[in-house]
A and B are shown apart, each in its own frame.
Chain A
């Protein structure tokens, strides 16, 4: 069974540009989560999607947004990129509501120059 897959693996953007990151959950998982992990720091919760809707959002500005598609895949968009957005963006999925184990993809490294 395929795990959580993310693309691209690495992405380099310049300040002010937009970045789009994509995630495919494990088959049968309806919830998708996005986390940001800056180098050397902890995971910061960004967004939770379930059944196509945004269910919860972390303490990030509105330029961080996303969506979940009918096939439960998801994308994260970061507009007006800033240098401090450089980080590993991790997508995770789970069956239904939390309390179930979440499984992570290998992440997308975003570098803003």
Chain B
């Protein structure tokens, strides 16, 4: 079983749609959680951190469920520019090993 698992998709949605991605992790000692975005053949870039209480940044909402060991990312009012691969990242403090999920690919169509 992978340490971090994501639905690979692809998710194909029309502009304006709401889409949600889930990510599960296996290490209960995980302390920090992030969502990164990666465009084709580019480096991953931080989208947002995920806090225990949940957090929102514009059209993006991230949530953490420690009991069930999953995090989620909700994108509202999808834009064409949201098309990318979204990577779930989990850190075990002091392990120096940010573990990345394999990513979920989103394509937003006109």
Contacts and interface: CB of A to CB of B under 8 A. Distances in A.
Interface of A: 31, 33, 35, 41-43, 45, 48, 50, 55-56, 58, 88, 90, 92, 97-99, 101-107
A90 B91 CA distance: 18
A42 B43 contact: no
Contact of B44 (A50, A55, A90): A90
B47 to A, nearest CB: 11
Interface in B86-103: 87, 91-103
Contacts of B87: 42-43
Interface of B: 31-32, 34, 41-46, 49, 87, 91-103
B32 A99 contact: yes
B96 A50 contact: yes
A7 B90 CA distance: 27
Contacts of B101: 42
The DSSP consensus for interface residues of chain B is loop
B32 to A, nearest CB: 5
A41 B38 CA distance: 12
Contacts of B93: 97-99
Contacts of B42: 106
A45 B98 contact: yes
Given A98-B92, A104-B44, A106-B43, 15 more contacts: A31-B96, A33-B96, A42-B87, A45-B97, A45-B100, A48-B97, A58-B97, A88-B41, A90-B43, A90-B44, A98-B98, A99-B32, A101-B46, A102-B46, A103-B46
A55 B96 CA distance: 7
Contacts of B96: 31, 33, 48, 50, 55-56, 97-98
Contact of A98 (B44, B46, B94): B94
B34 A43 contact: no
A46 B20 CA distance: 30
A102 B34 CA distance: 10
